[in-house]
């Protein structure tokens, strides 16, 4: 068995020998039917925080197949919350943790046929997203430095003023297939929308979620919840993010539109797993 100090040094040297990607994941494991972090799990999280200068964090927690869905859903949520609480205690800002989710036993990393595999399914995955540039979308155009920032900002569809009653696609906002969890590349898009709404305090919007691969207008199955509410859940993710970061709820509504008018046709096209924003009031 590798001693804890040697194990930490091994992890550090391994991570430092590769180029830093924009996304990194730390995986920790839990004993059977427990949600408290082990010392080994704390060491891994502590080391990951030293290595990854992160801008945003997503936490997902999982269980093995033993027990009912309801029991495992509660347990996995407790595990996700335990990770969040530890990261906050270690100095991570609350706004950095943009989402936590307990998946119960719905997303196993391995089959559950052996004790070893079940142990590997009792896990939490902490995704560290490292932003590659500024995300502001409203600038002082007379300032050359601000103009440079504008060139590097993510394209979210607000380059031109959108009139009241009009709808635009929230560009570069996308999700994992069959799930309401956003792709990591969508994080700056949500941040940009948040900043735009803060700079336009009178604007009210409707957040419209969509899916692919179902008959015209039909809702999709959300594999994370087991319910036919995928497009609505995708819209709700953005709604919750905006509210949690200071946007007044009365300025926002959200709705799922199923697979209505898919731009990519009725196939598994990422363009169909989209979100559109309707300007209800300016």
The residue ranking higher by pLDDT, 54 or 81, is 81
Q: Which domain holds residue 157?
A: 144-281
What average pLDDT does range 83-111 have in this prediction? 90
As a whole number of angstroms, the distance between CA 4 and CA 73 comes to: 31
Residue 26 — very low, low, confident or very high, per pLDDT cuts 50/70/90? confident
Lowest mean pLDDT among 167-176, 198-207, 233-242, 257-266: 257-266
**8 A C-beta contact, residue 127 and residue 184:** yes
**152 and 276 housed in the same domain:** yes
As a whole number of angstroms, the distance between CA 93 and CA 103 comes to: 24
CATH of the domain at 266: 3.30.1330.60
**102 and 152 housed in the same domain:** no
- Residue 132 DSSP symbol: -
Give the model confidence (pLDDT) of 208-249 as tens digits: 998 876 666 688 877 767 788 889 999 999 999 999 889 999
What average pLDDT does range 58-66 have in this prediction? 93
Alpha helices in the chain (DSSP H): 4-16, 39-51, 69-89, 115-121, 144-152, 187-199, 230-244
Among 132, 245, 254, CA closest to 191: 245
Domain boundary among 102, 129, 156: 129
Instruction: Let me know if residue 134 belongs to a domain.
Output: no
Q: What per-residue confidence (pLDDT) applies to 140? A: 36
Give the model confidence (pLDDT) of 157-197 as tens digits: 665 567 888 888 888 888 877 778 887 778 888 888 999 99
Query: Which residue pairs from 7-12 have beta carbons closer than 8 angstroms and sit at least 24 positions apart in sequence?
Result: 7/40, 7/43, 8/43, 8/47, 11/44, 11/47, 12/47, 12/50, 12/51
**8 A C-beta contact, residue 265 and residue 186:** no
As a whole number of angstroms, the distance between CA 16 and CA 123 comes to: 24
Q: What per-residue confidence (pLDDT) applies to 268? A: 44
Q: What per-residue confidence (pLDDT) applies to 133? A: 37
As a whole number of angstroms, the distance between CA 36 and CA 70 comes to: 19
Domain boundary among 129, 161, 177: 129
| Res. 78: pLDDT tops 60 | yes
């Amino acid at each position: 068995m590798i001693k804890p100090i040697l194990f930490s040094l091994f992890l550090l040297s391994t991570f430092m020998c590769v180029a830093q990607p924009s996304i990194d994941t730390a995986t920790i494991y839990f004993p059977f039917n427990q949600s408290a972090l082990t010392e080994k799990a704390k060491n891994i999280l502590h080391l990951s925080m030293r290595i990854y200068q992160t801008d945003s964090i997503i936490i997902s927690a999982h269980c093995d197949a033993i027990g009912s869905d309801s029991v495992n859903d509660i347990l996995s949520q407790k595990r996700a919350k335990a990770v969040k609480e530890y990261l906050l205690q270690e100095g991570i800002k609350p706004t950095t943790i943009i989402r936590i989710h307990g998946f119960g036993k719905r997303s196993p990393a391995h089959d559950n046929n052996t004790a070893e595999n079940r142990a590997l399914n009792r896990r939490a995955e902490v995704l560290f997203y490292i932003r590659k540039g500024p995300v502001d979308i409203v600038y002082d155009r007379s300032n050359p430095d601000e103009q440079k920032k504008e060139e590097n900002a993510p394209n979210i569809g607000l380059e031109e003023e959108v009139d009241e009653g009009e709808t635009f696609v929230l560009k570069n906002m996308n999700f994992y297939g069959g799930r309401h969890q956003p792709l990591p590349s969508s994080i700056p898009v949500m941040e940009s929308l948040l900043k735009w709404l803060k700079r336009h305090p009178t604007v009210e919007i409707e957040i419209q979620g969509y899916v692919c691969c179902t008959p015209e207008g039909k809702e999709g199955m959300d594999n994370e919840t087991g319910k036919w509410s995928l497009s609505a859940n995708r819209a709700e993710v953005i709604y919750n993010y905006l509210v949690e970061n200071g946007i007044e709820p009365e300025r926002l509504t959200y709705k799922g539109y199923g697979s209505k008018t898919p731009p990519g046709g009725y196939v598994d096209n990422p363009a169909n797993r989209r979100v559109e924003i309707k300007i209800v009031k300016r």
